[in-house]
């Protein structure tokens, strides 16, 4: 094994790795909660004719809970405590405060004057997801090859040179949330501290502040890049950085946005009277039916068709749903027939559903005549129905199709090339975090007041924009994303409680893919170009 490690000056499809002597003889285990350890390696990325030398740090930062009193010496209190992925039951007289070691992989381009080079902090969502998906699929120097919209063959998989990497214009930091990936938590009530909307946001705020200090990057243009629940996290973190740390951001890049759980098309059936999610999901239903050629009459051009559906959704459909039981049978029939024309779902099914199709109902029903269900994360994907007589799918077609490739290649890459992790499991999804997540949120109010509510962080993003009117926000969404429908993101942005003059700070982009916009190379190139322009336009010159 040692000979293989020392020989890793090998070239991986355009990227050459070599390792610093101090890290070339062993693979570092996951850092304990008291002794974070880093592994440093170097590489060269070839972008066209351009060679970009860089170095990578795979490591951890120690993060305390949001109410930690730093007048105590936490290391002395904790040096005897075993590592844990859950709550530590401490029956001793000294209570250990909650603490997290947050794992990150940082890519730094080797250039002079790095202190003014843009830096982007990436994270996925869940809650309870590690950053492996963005790390291995979007803008790092390597990415997973995922052609097509079908289940990938079994290994070996392809890890390829990423021609769409953003390393040419920014340094990149991929962060695992507490309790996910190689990040670990411990201490009294650690789950209660970190497995919550506000505790998680506080941890990321402290991580970013520590990272800027450790690498002397306080004067670098700085950006947040969150996907899915990570967009909700970004809104809170952006506001906390500004209000608690006096640190302005240059920009926030949102991918597959959800800022309010009230707009979720999956949980809507549990909340009678909440009709808006049906309205916001309808354009995604239409796009999906168009993609699978399941419409009664197939329009030629998608974007024009979606504009028509968006207008119907926000006018006649919304008004019909708002009437509830007062809607006449004739009008109900008319709306059902229009929904059939836009979604491909039978009129009789729509009537039985009382004009209200949840995301899961649509995914399960659209292709039932073919024995298939569509994906949720990306409705272009389809796979055999587990229960043809059921109401909703029992698994996600895209997740099933791609997860093995992402996790196989990441686990090999992080250990073989970045020399981190040893035999420690990498928790791509922490079901412990997901199942125990506290969604209550302390929203900011005028005059410094706060109120607790279920997840709606639109006030946080609005506060960040109003207190930093130079802040730029970029919204990216996929037409075929059922988890966070693109029209939902547009609606949330256009209903932020901000002055009309600040709407110009927000830019909107949609792509012909699903939740993980980056899985398609052509679309990834579009995303790259849009993000690069966003960064260049939001840096003061």
- The pLDDT tens digits of the residues spanning 349-363 come to 999 999 999 999 999
Segment among 93-107, 318-332, 400-414 with least mean pLDDT: 93-107
Tokens of 335: 């709306």
Query: What's the confidence (pLDDT) of residue 351?
Result: 98
The answer on pLDDT for 457 being more than 80 is yes
Query: What's the confidence (pLDDT) of residue 211?
Result: 97
Q: pLDDT band at 89, cuts 50/70/90?
A: very low
Q: What residues does 59 pair with on adjacent strands?
A: 104
Average pLDDT over residues 161-169: 95
Nearest to 456 by CA among 473, 467, 474, 440: 440
Segment among 254-258, 418-422, 509-513 with least mean pLDDT: 418-422
Q: pLDDT band at 145, cuts 50/70/90?
A: very high
Q: Could you give the percent of the chain with pLDDT greater than 70?
A: 87
Q: How far apart are CA 204 and CA 125, in angstroms?
A: 12
| Mean pLDDT, the chain, integer | 88
Q: pLDDT band at 49, cuts 50/70/90?
A: confident
Nearest to 14 by CA among 55, 58, 48, 56: 48
Query: What's the confidence (pLDDT) of residue 97?
Result: 86
The answer on pLDDT for 71 being more than 80 is no
Instruction: Answer positive or negative: Cα dihedral of 533, 535, 538, 540.
Output: negative
CA-to-CA separations, 458 to 46, 94, 279, 494, 541, in angstroms, rounded: 40, 40, 19, 10, 30
Q: How far apart are CA 515 and CA 488, in angstroms?
A: 13
Average pLDDT over residues 403-423: 94
Query: What's the confidence (pLDDT) of residue 78?
Result: 43
Residue for token pair 């209570």: 95
Give yes or no for a contact between 541 and 118, defined as CB atoms under 8 angstroms apart: no
Residue 340 phi/psi, 5-degree rounding, is: -60, -45
Pairing state of beta strands 11-12 and 15-19? antiparallel
For residue 420, count other CB atoms closer than 10 A to its CB.
Answer: 29
Give yes or no for a contact between 233 and 225, defined as CB atoms under 8 angstroms apart: no
Please give the residue that has the higher pLDDT: either 416 or 25: 416
Nearest to 378 by CA among 517, 231, 227: 517
Average pLDDT over residues 387-413: 94
Element (H, E) at 172: strand 171-175
Q: pLDDT band at 427, cuts 50/70/90?
A: very high
Average pLDDT over residues 415-442: 91
For residue 46, count other CB atoms closer than 10 A to its CB.
Answer: 16
pLDDT digits (tens, 9 = 90+) for 513-532: 999 999 999 999 999 999 99
**What pTM did the predictor assign?**
0.89
Give yes or no for a contact between 306 and 479, defined as CB atoms under 8 angstroms apart: yes
Query: What's the confidence (pLDDT) of residue 86?
Result: 46
Average pLDDT over residues 176-183: 95
pLDDT digits (tens, 9 = 90+) for 464-489: 999 999 999 999 999 999 999 999 99
Buried b (16+ CB within 10 A) or exposed e, 136-146: bbbbbbbbbeb
Q: How far apart are CA 530 and CA 512, in angstroms?
A: 15
Q: Could you give the percent of the chain with pLDDT greater than 90?
A: 76
The answer on pLDDT for 91 being more than 60 is no
Q: Residue 226: CB partners within 8 Å, gap ≥ 6? A: 122, 123, 124, 125, 232, 233, 234, 252, 253, 254, 255
Nearest to 250 by CA among 223, 227, 213: 223
Segment among 16-20, 193-197, 374-378 with least mean pLDDT: 16-20
Average pLDDT over residues 61-79: 63
Residue 260 phi/psi, 5-degree rounding, is: -135, 125
Q: How far apart are CA 458 and CA 472, in angstroms?
A: 15
Q: Is 35 exposed, middle or buried (0-12, 13-18, 19+ CB in 10 A)?
A: exposed
Instruction: Answer positive or negative: Cα dihedral of 139, 145, 147, 150.
Output: negative
For domain 2-262+407-537, the question of CATH label 3.40.50.1820 is answered with yes
Average pLDDT over residues 91-105: 77
Segment among 270-274, 288-292, 398-402, 491-495 with least mean pLDDT: 270-274
Give yes or no for a contact between 22 and 38, defined as CB atoms under 8 angstroms apart: no
Query: What's the confidence (pLDDT) of residue 79?
Result: 40
CATH 3.40.50.1820 domain position(s) in the chain: 2-262+407-537
Q: pLDDT band at 137, cuts 50/70/90?
A: very high
Give yes or no for a contact between 39 and 418, defined as CB atoms under 8 angstroms apart: yes
Element (H, E) at 486: helix 486-494
Query: What's the confidence (pLDDT) of residue 415?
Result: 95
pLDDT digits (tens, 9 = 90+) for 262-315: 999 888 888 888 999 999 999 999 999 999 999 999 999 999 999 999 999 999
Instruction: Answer positive or negative: Cα dihedral of 72, 74, 80, 81.
Output: positive
């Amino acid at each position: 094994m040692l000979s293989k490690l020392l020989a890793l000056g090998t070239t991986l499809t355009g990227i050459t790795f070599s390792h610093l002597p101090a890290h070339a003889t062993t693979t570092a285990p996951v850092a304990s909660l008291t002794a974070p350890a880093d592994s440093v390696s170097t590489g060269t990325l070839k972008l066209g004719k351009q060679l970009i030398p860089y170095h990578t740090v795979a490591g951890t930062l120690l993060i305390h809970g949001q109410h930690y009193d730093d007048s105590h010496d936490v290391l002395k209190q904790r040096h005897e405590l075993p590592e844990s992925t859950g709550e530590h039951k401490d029956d001793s007289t000294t209570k250990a405060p909650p603490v997290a070691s947050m794992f990150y992989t940082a890519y730094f381009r080797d250039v002079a004057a790095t202190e003014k080079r843009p830096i982007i902090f990436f994270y996925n969502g869940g809650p309870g997801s590690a950053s492996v998906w963005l790390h291995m699929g979007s803008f790092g120097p390597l990415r997973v090859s995922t052609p097509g919209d079908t289940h990938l063959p079994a290994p070996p998989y392809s890890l390829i040179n990423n021609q769409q990497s953003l390393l040419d214009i920014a340094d990149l930091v991929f962060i695992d949330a507490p309790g996910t990936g190689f990040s670990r938590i411990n201490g009294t009530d650690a789950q209660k501290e970190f497995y919550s909307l506000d505790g998680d946001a506080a941890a990321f705020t402290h991580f970013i502040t520590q990272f800027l200090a450790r690498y002397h990057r306080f004067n670098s243009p700085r950006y947040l890049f969150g996907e899915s629940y990570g967009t909700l996290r970004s809104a809170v973190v952006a506001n906390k950085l500004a209000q608690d740390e006096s640190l302005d951001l240059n920009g926030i890049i949102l991918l597959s946005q959800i800022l309010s759980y009230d707009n979720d098309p999956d949980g809507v059936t549990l909340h009678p009277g909440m009709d808006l999610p049906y309205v916001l999901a309808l354009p995604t239903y239409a796009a999906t039916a168009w993609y699978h050629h399941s419409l009664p009459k197939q329009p030629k051009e998608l974007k024009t068709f979606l504009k028509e559906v968006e207008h119907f959704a926000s006018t006649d459909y919304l008004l019909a749903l708002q009437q509830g039981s007062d809607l006449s049978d004739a009008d109900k029939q008319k709306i059902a027939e229009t929904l059939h024309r836009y979604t491909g779902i039978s009129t009789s099914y729509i009537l039985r559903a009382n004009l209200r199709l949840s995301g899961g109902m649509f995914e399960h029903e659209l292709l039932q005549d073919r024995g298939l269900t569509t994906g949720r994360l990306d409705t272009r994907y389809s796979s055999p129905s587990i229960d043809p007589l059921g109401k909703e799918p029992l698994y996600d077609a895209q997740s099933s199709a791609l997860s093995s490739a992402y996790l196989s290649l990441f686990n090999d890459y992080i250990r073989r090339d970045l020399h981190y992790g040893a035999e420690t499991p990498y928790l791509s999804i922490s079901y412990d975090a997901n199942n125990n997540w506290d969604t209550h949120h302390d929203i900011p109010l005028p005059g410094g007041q706060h109120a607790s509510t279920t997840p709606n962080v639109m006030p946080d993003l609005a506060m960040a924009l109003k207190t930093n009117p130079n802040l730029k926000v970029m919204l990216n969404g996929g037409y075929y994303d059922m988890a966070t429908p693109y029209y939902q993101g547009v609606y949330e942005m256009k209903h932020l409680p901000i002055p009309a003059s600040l709407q110009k700070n927000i830019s909107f982009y949609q792509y012909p893919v699903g939740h993980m916009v980056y899985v398609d190379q052509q679309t990834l190139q579009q995303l790259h170009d849009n993000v690069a322009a966003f960064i260049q336009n939001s840096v003061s010159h």
